[in-house]
Amino acid sequence: MLLYDADNPAPNPRRVRIFLAEKGIDLPRTSISIIEREQKSRDYLAKNSLGQVPILEL
């Protein structure tokens, strides 16, 4: 599993980080830069056509 995360202040990835911390779950993560629009790159859109974070790749 790989969590595609984004730094603060993005609230939706933060909500997932809070949930994982509360459950004591440690996942491998990679950070997507919303400011640099990495969520709209071709590679990322192939994973999530909505072009948003977070996503969990299984």
Ligand X SMILES: N[C@@H](CCC(=O)N[C@@H](CS)C(=O)NCC(=O)O)C(=O)O
Binding site for ligand X (CB under 6 A): 10-12, 34, 39, 51-54
Task: Give the nearest residue (CB) to ligand X.
Answer: 52
Compare residues 3 and 53 and give the one whose CB is closer to ligand X.
53
Compare residues 12 and 31 and give the one whose CB is closer to ligand X.
12
Helix (H, G, I), strand (E, B) or coil at 7: coil
Please name the residue that has the structure tokens 């980080």: 17
Interstrand relation of 29-31 and 2-5 (parallel, antiparallel or unpaired): parallel
Listed in sequence order, the residues at least 6 apart from 24 whose beta carbon sits closer than 8 Å to its beta carbon are none
Compare residues 3 and 39 and give the one whose CB is closer to ligand X.
39
